[in-house]
Amino acid sequence: MMRYFSPPWWAKNPHVQTILPVLTKVDRPDLTRQRLELSDGDFIDLDWLCQPKAHEHIVIIIHGLEGSSESHYVRRLLNDCRRQSICAVVHHHRSCSGETNRRARSYHSGDTQDLQENLSQLRSKYPDSPLLAVGYSLGGNVLAKYLGEYADTSLIQRAVVVSAPLQLSACAKRLESGFSKVYQSYLIKQLQQKTREKVRNPQLAEEMPVALSQIPQLQTFYDFDHRVTAPLHGFDSVDDYYQRASGMDFLRFIHKPTLVIHAADDPFMTADVIPTTEQCASQITYELHSRGGHVGFIDGGTPFKPRYYLEQRILHFLIPQKD
């Protein structure tokens, strides 16, 4: 039976909802790694929970900024998939699987090319398996944009988008104020380190748009996207990147059943990420919760052993017959 989300008294604060899951130990099931060679000479890594049988659903998990199969939300979903005998695979963005990618370019919030290549090879290898997808945060924006771009030709049959920054400019500004700056600082440090590695690589240095001495100056997402993300990935400017990569304008073109979940108190976002009815295609089920933080949605348990709403809701939507 599907339960509705209601946070316990001790987890009503958005930062508790956002931070506690990161600090809570989650066992990761055994995974099998597959390297997918891309058409531009680069690669991404896939982590498989199991190999799908004929006609078995495949749940593709798309992590957030600087996430991986080690992320708490990915581990929890993998564990639930294992318990329910559902086949799942983690789609890593470039450089997020523990090994730096080969090219100067990396990944970004609107990068749907790698996802399409992965889905195409999955469709070719497992033609009878329905492809389902869930995207978290940045991965959710990528998924929403993909579904809108490909519309009725999308290779994904059903999808769930969680805590996605559907208006990138507004979210970048939000992370420059208040306690949200803590999240920005944490993520920016990781992006700076990956940029340093590429600038120090003699084979990539000339293609990188910044010098080693300039990297410490990139303290906000706006600065980083202006100096690195936009020029590295072919955008005219940071504003051009934010406008073209944001998922919001693609929601109206989605043709496949899609659940979009947001929390109104998400410290990564503002009300600008909340779409109107007119912005959503008829195939979208939109759920806005008053609380839940960013990819949190703790709905019970104890502070030492929280219980979560997301995994149940995601699988209930992707595979309704499992109810």
Enumerate residues 6+ apart whose C-beta is below 8 A from 19: none
pTM of the model: 0.97
> Which helix (H) or strand (E) covers residue 259, if one does?
strand 258-263
Residues 123, 55: Cα–Cα separation, whole Å: 12
Residue 280 pLDDT > 70, yes or no?
yes
Which residue out of 137, 154, 180, 246 is catalytically annotated? 137
Residue-range domain boundaries for the chain: 9-166+247-322, 168-245
pLDDT (tens digit per residue) in 169-211? 999 999 999 999 999 999 999 999 999 999 999 999 999 999 9
Looking at residue 139, the DSSP 8-state letter turns out to be: H
Active-site residue flag, 223: no
255 is catalytic: no
Q: Which of 57, 93, 226, 294 is catalytic?
A: 294
Other beta carbons within 10 Å of 197: 12
9-166+247-322: what CATH class?
alpha beta
Residue 54 has pLDDT above 90, yes or no: no
DSSP of 197-250, one letter per residue?
HHHT-TTTGGG-SS-GGGGGG--SHHHHIIIIIHHHTT-SSHHHHHHHH-SGGG
Residue 13 is predicted with a pLDDT of 97
Show Cβ contacts of residue 157 under 8 Å, excluding neighbours closer than 6 positions.
130, 131, 132, 256, 257
How is residue 68 written in tokens?
Answer: 């991986």
